Amino acid sequence: MLFTDDTVEALRAAVHLVNTAEDPDTLVTEDDVAAFLEAFPYTGRIDRDPAELTGLRALRPQLRSVLLASRDEMVARINAALREVTLDARLVRHDGADWHLHAVADDRPFAERILAETAMALIDVVRANEGSRISVCADETCGGVVLDLSRNRSRRYCSTTCTNRNAVAAYRSRQR
Ligand SMILES: [Zn+2]
Ligand SMILES: [Zn+2]
């Protein structure tokens, strides 16, 4: 096991959120926030209002920067994030998830909680020196972030769309 389940889930959620900023943007309405919540069920405060949507949209470039940072820069950005949030760390167990850390109180804004959880998850990435598992999609036209948790580090594309597009392109170039 590379990382604990809660770390993996936090990293997946952060990458998913960052990748909604790719063209076309898929975090535009409150329905889009609902879809994100369906994919990544969060406990705690959910406002379902424009301020929350704005907060999540504004969080995306910050998450992107920290996820794709070099090790030293990632440490600096994690530390900055930990200063930015109101830490209220405690161990909790809920909804079938075994003991894990909640770094901020459940009533803090959604974007702040995601930032804190991403920072906590990236602490594990830094400690394991596994930052190379987070990269930019190998598709030339895509800026999506790839989280590669595969055993043989084989994941190069951010989505099945990008994987398939490049498989087709490779096939065509072999035919020529
Ligand atoms: Zn939890
Ligand atoms: Zn891609």
Query: Which pLDDT score, from 0 to 100, does residue 170 have?
Result: 86
Query: Which pLDDT score, from 0 to 100, does residue 9 have?
Result: 95
Q: How far is the CA of 140 from the centre of ligand 2 (A)?
A: 8
Q: How far is the CA of 16 from the centre of ligand 1 (A)?
A: 18
Ligand nearest to the CA of 41: 1
Q: How far is the CA of 100 from the centre of ligand 1 (A)?
A: 6
Distance, CA of 143 to CA of 134 (rounded, Å): 13
Identify each DSSP E strand in the chain by its residue range.
87-94, 97-104, 134-136, 145-147
Where residue 156 falls among pLDDT bands split at 50, 70, 90?
very high
Ligand nearest to the CA of 147: 2
**Average predicted confidence (pLDDT) for the chain:** 96
pLDDT digits (tens, 9 = 90+) for 45-67: 999 999 999 999 999 999 999 99
Q: How far is the CA of 138 from the centre of ligand 1 (A)?
A: 32
- Is the pLDDT confidence value at 18 over 80? yes
Task: Look up the CATH number of domain 5-131.
Answer: 1.10.3300.10
Ligand nearest to the CA of 139: 2
pLDDT digits (tens, 9 = 90+) for 67-115: 999 999 999 999 999 999 999 999 999 988 899 999 999 999 999 999 9
Where residue 30 falls among pLDDT bands split at 50, 70, 90?
very high
Q: How far is the CA of 142 from the centre of ligand 1 (A)?
A: 32
pLDDT digits (tens, 9 = 90+) for 114-146: 999 999 999 999 999 999 999 999 999 999 999
Ligand nearest to the CA of 166: 2
Query: Which pLDDT score, from 0 to 100, does residue 175 have?
Result: 86
DSSP letters spanning 81-116: HHHHS-EEEEEEEETTEEEEEEEE-TTS-HHHHHHH
Q: How far is the CA of 169 from the centre of ligand 2 (A)?
A: 14
- Is the pLDDT confidence value at 159 over 80? yes
Query: Which pLDDT score, from 0 to 100, does residue 1 have?
Result: 75
Distances from the Cα of 151 to the Cαs of 4, 57, 79, 103, 137, in angstroms? 15, 32, 29, 29, 18
Query: Which pLDDT score, from 0 to 100, does residue 176 have?
Result: 79
Share of the chain above pLDDT 70, in %: 100
How far is C-alpha 110 from the geometric centre of its chain's CA atoms?
14
Name the pTM for this structure: 0.94
Cα-Cα-Cα-Cα dihedral sign, residues 40, 44, 47, 51: negative
